[in-house]
Amino acid sequence: AYLGDDPANKVVAIAAGAFHSLALMADGTVYTWGHDGFGQLGDNSTTDKHTPVRVLKGAYNGTAYLGDDPANKITALSAGYYHTIALDQNGSVYTWGWNRYGQLGDGSWAQRNTPVRVLTGEYNGTTYLGDDPANKVTAITAGYYHTIALDQNGSVYTWGWNNNGQLGDGSNSDRNTPVRVLTGEYNGTTYLGDDPANKITKIAGGSYHVSAMAQNATVYTWGYNYYGQLGNYRTTNSNIPVKVHGEGNVGDLSLPVNLSSFSALAGTNKVTLKWATESEVENVGFEILRANDKDGDYQEISSYRSNSSLKGQYSTSHRTDYRYDDQLVQTGQTYWYKLIDV
């Protein structure tokens, strides 16, 4: 009488979008119900369902339904606002539903009422995301209108809506195939997770932002930040990953920068800031904030991202001296400064 009441085929996972629900069965098949105005139920219709329907196979290589091949079951589910995502045992990713922003990742902007397979995009495979047996996709998640995948090597891929930088590729352009998230404040070569000694291990999608956790337990975020959801002591959006600060904005509690001095000296049409560190551990660089009074609204005036002189030493046990000249000052005005290490 009820979904999952067969002891031989229990429900093993659930997920939900804005107005639709999903369930994954032990046999690898997927059931959906609720709002279907954009095909998000995957039953080749756009009619709302008040009880579960079984998702059709679409581009999945099965008999009739998604996950019905016992050798390649569906293993994970996620849902965006009006779209749905599924991951199979082989590491392939399937999507269906609304596709206005390319969130299905099939190279189109067209709605799909049955599952399509996500294309490679910037993933190093043959045709589809996860089709390299040596580097399968291991996790999926979604935001409102964007989708995220994590591969075995620890790299993160995103596609869909990017108005707030939630794809993390350094742009604000929508993508209808996967792009690889850039390093940002992660200490890698080019892409987030590309250090084999510190892979990305977990991903999560917010409405308009994304979170990722590295092997060393550091958390990175990117996208919309109006409410401070990126956790970097800012309320400005970021289209590349930033590192989440510790409680009270004291930085990474386990990996501190040993700051021995920080001073400000007023000069002619400038304020010269000087500081020194006695040691640094995983310090990417510094950001400088300024306010017109002590308890005022501090705004970033420069950072290592735009000023190479503010880049950190990453890890060092030696003293390092830094200097920054703030030339955007007015005579007679008092300024307050904050220094943040990243």
What digits encode the pLDDT tens for the residues 31-52? 999 999 999 999 999 999 999 9
pLDDT of residue 252: 47
- DSSP designation for 120: -
Q: 115 is in which domain, residue-wise?
A: 11-249
Give the Cα separation of 331 and 334 in Å (integer): 9
Q: Residue 31 half-sphere exposure, CB side, CA atoms within 13 Å? A: 19
My answer on whether 112 and 207 are in the same domain is yes
Strand spans (E) along 215-310: 219-223, 238-243, 258-267, 270-291, 299-303
Strand spans (E) along 292-318: 299-303, 311-316
pLDDT at 13 > cutoff 60: yes
pLDDT of residue 253: 44
Q: Which of 204, 232, 249 is the last residue of a domain?
A: 249
pLDDT of residue 247: 66
Phi and psi at residue 104, to the nearest 5°: -85, -20
Average pLDDT over the chain reads 94
pLDDT of residue 302: 94
Phi and psi at residue 172, to the nearest 5°: -125, 30
When pLDDT is cut at 50, 70 and 90, the band that residue 234 belongs to is confident
Q: Which of 249, 266, 288 is the last residue of a domain?
A: 249
My answer on whether 314 and 237 are in the same domain is no
Burial class (CB in 10 A: 0-12, 13-18, 19+), 197: exposed
pLDDT of residue 256: 63
What digits encode the pLDDT tens for the residues 256-290? 688 889 999 999 999 999 999 988 887 888 999 99
Q: Strand pairing partners for 299?
A: 290
pLDDT at 97 > cutoff 90: yes
CA distances from 77 to 18, 21, 26, 55, 319 (A): 15, 11, 13, 12, 50
pLDDT of residue 293: 87
My answer on whether 82 and 19 are in the same domain is yes
| pLDDT-wise least confident of 112-116, 122-126, 209-213, 284-288 | 284-288
pLDDT of residue 305: 86
When pLDDT is cut at 50, 70 and 90, the band that residue 254 belongs to is very low
My answer on whether 297 and 165 are in the same domain is no
HEC profile of 163-226: CCCCCCCCCCCCEEEEEECECCCCCCCCECCCCCCCCEEEEEECCCEEEEEECCCCEEEEECCC
Instruction: Look up residue 210 and give its two tokens.
Output: 């994304």
pLDDT at 196 > cutoff 80: yes
My answer on whether 205 and 269 are in the same domain is no
Give the Cα separation of 241 and 148 in Å (integer): 14
Count structural domains, the chain: 2
Sign of CA dihedral 243, 245, 246, 247: negative
- The pTM of the full predicted model, rounded to 2 decimals, is 0.77
My answer on whether 234 and 135 are in the same domain is yes
CA distances from 248 to 13, 118, 189, 263, 334 (A): 36, 41, 30, 22, 25
pLDDT of residue 315: 83
pLDDT at 133 > cutoff 80: yes
Q: Which of 249, 277, 300 is the last residue of a domain?
A: 249
My answer on whether 64 and 168 are in the same domain is yes
CA distances from 241 to 63, 169, 172, 200, 219 (A): 41, 9, 14, 12, 9
CA distances from 168 to 23, 161, 194, 221, 236 (A): 30, 11, 15, 9, 14
pLDDT of residue 317: 84
Q: Tell me the residue type at 322.
A: Y
My answer on whether 245 and 262 are in the same domain is no
My answer on whether 197 and 64 are in the same domain is yes
| pLDDT-wise least confident of 97-101, 204-208, 247-251, 271-275 | 247-251
pLDDT at 197 > cutoff 90: yes
User: Beta-carbon neighbour count of residue 89 at 10 Å?
Assistant: 16
| CATH at 322 | 2.60.40
Burial class (CB in 10 A: 0-12, 13-18, 19+), 293: exposed
